[in-house]
Structure formats: structure tokens, C-alpha cells
Amino acid sequence: MLLTIVMPVYNEEATLEEIVRRVQAVDLGQMERELVMVDDCSRDQSPRILASLEGQTSPNPAAKPFDRPIRVARHLVNQGKGAALRTGFAQAQGDLILIQDADLEYDPEDYPKLLKPVLTGKAQVVYGSRFTGERRNMFFHHWIGNKFLTLLTNVLYNTTLSDMETCYKLFTRQALAGVVIKSDRFNFEPEITAKILKKGIRIYEVPISYTGREFEEGKKITWRDGFAAMWALVKFRFSD
């Protein structure tokens, strides 16, 4: 079984090498793995760092290294996280596909938690919930925004998610079959969630750790993205 980890990158020079090191250090036993990184036209030193990482395998044989070298895709124009993930998904060769942000908010050590429900036949899609595990507490208005969008998802799609906006989303290739993603920005999250739920797939959640950063630390999502997510949830509920 092959796990593809898709990592969108935009201006993450401060964390890029460290997050790759952490991803490579995770022990997933005998599972074959690949890392697909998508540079969304970064304007800092991220392209240079990505060039140095491309083709690399884990430098530590004891860490269960990637069986396939790191691959890098590049956008010539900045398009947004959703567009970067669409590019990464198109290049993914894995039986399982996992999203990993290029910052340090999410801990790759949680991969085994995410994989277990799929490997034991309990789920086709697994989300890592930031609100049921240990975490660095976020600001109140960020918490309210996440909770409201998750509540709206639950009302519209008859589910009981605790964290729709989480980065950590794991899919089987079969679950993604026929799903066409059109969103270019952060409204990828509600769109993929809506389309998975409309396929009749129930999402499995596991607790993860979370160390959220703020805007002065490089966080990119804003209140405007919250309104776009609301509109996406309503739009995809009542349209194909």
C-alpha cells in the first residue's frame, strides 16, 4: 500500500526544511510512502529550499525512509491552497492520500492515528480533529469561526463533525473517485467535505495535537475566507 502525502507550499521558508524532516522521521512500518510538494509561486526562499529537497529520500534509514523520492510541482502564478492541492492530487500515485501543511501547526507524529481507522477497515475518510486532542489554544474569534463553519456543515449535511476546517484529511483513492475540486483557495475544505458527504461516505474523526500560529507568525487564512467557506457549504449542498 502506498501513502501519498500532499504538501502545498506558499512562502514557508522558515518551516519548510523542518516539516519535511518531521514527515520523514515518522515510522509507518512497512507502508510505502511518497511526498508530493506543490510550490504555489512562493516569493521567499521556498523555491530554493524545494529545489534542494527535490529527489531526496530520508537521510535516516532507521526512520523507515520514503520508498520514493520527494517530487516537487510548481505553479508559475499564485493560485491558492485549493489549486495547489488539486495539482498535488493529480500527481498522487498512492492508494491513500493525506494533506500536510508546510507550517508546523500539525504534527506528523499523528499519522498512525489517522491511518489506523482505514487500515482496520473502519473508514474511507479520516479527519484529524483539533478540538478533541491536546492543543495550543487559539484566539476566541478563530475558535468561533471554526465552530460555526463546522456547525453549518453538520446542519446542512446531517453529520456530527467536530472540525471541518482541519488540515489533516486522509482519503482512500476510492473515496476521491469522481470528486472534482473547483475551489482555488481555502474553500477547498468545505468543498471536499461537502462532496465526500454527498457521496454517502461518513467521515471518521480522530484526536490530533495542534500548535496554531497567528498572523504575525505567518498564518494566511482570514475572515474573508470564512465567508467564502459559508457560501461554499450552501452552494454545494444544493447543487451538483
Asked whether the predicted pLDDT for residue 213 surpasses 90, the reply is no
Q: Tell me, what's the pLDDT at 215?
A: 45
Helices (H), the chain: 16-25, 46-53, 81-91, 111-119, 140-157, 173-176, 188-198, 223-237
pLDDT in tens, 222-232: 656 677 888 88
Greater model confidence, 85 or 145: 85
pLDDT score of 228: 80
pLDDT of residue 147: 84
pLDDT, position 133: 66
Mean model confidence pLDDT for the chain: 88
What's the rounded Cα separation, in Å, for the pair 36 and 85?
10
Question: Is pLDDT above 70 for 34?
Answer: yes
Of 18 and 227, which is predicted with more confidence? 18
Q: What is the pLDDT of residue 222?
A: 60
Ordered by start, the domain boundaries in the chain are 2-237
Q: What is the pLDDT of residues 38-90, one digit of tens each?
A: 999 999 999 999 999 998 876 655 555 567 899 999 999 999 999 999 999 99
Instruction: Name the CATH superfamily housing domain 2-237.
Output: Spore Coat Polysaccharide Biosynthesis Protein SpsA; Chain A (3.90.550.10)
The per-residue pLDDT for 146 is 77
Is 50 exceeded by the pLDDT of residue 145? yes
Mean pLDDT across 191-201: 96
More confident position, 144 or 92: 92
Please name the helix (run of DSSP H) or strand (run of DSSP E) that holds residue 74, with its range, or none: strand 71-74
- CB contact at 8 A, 229 and 186: yes
pLDDT higher than threshold 70 for residue 142: no
Span 150-172, average pLDDT: 94
CA distance 81 to 171: 17
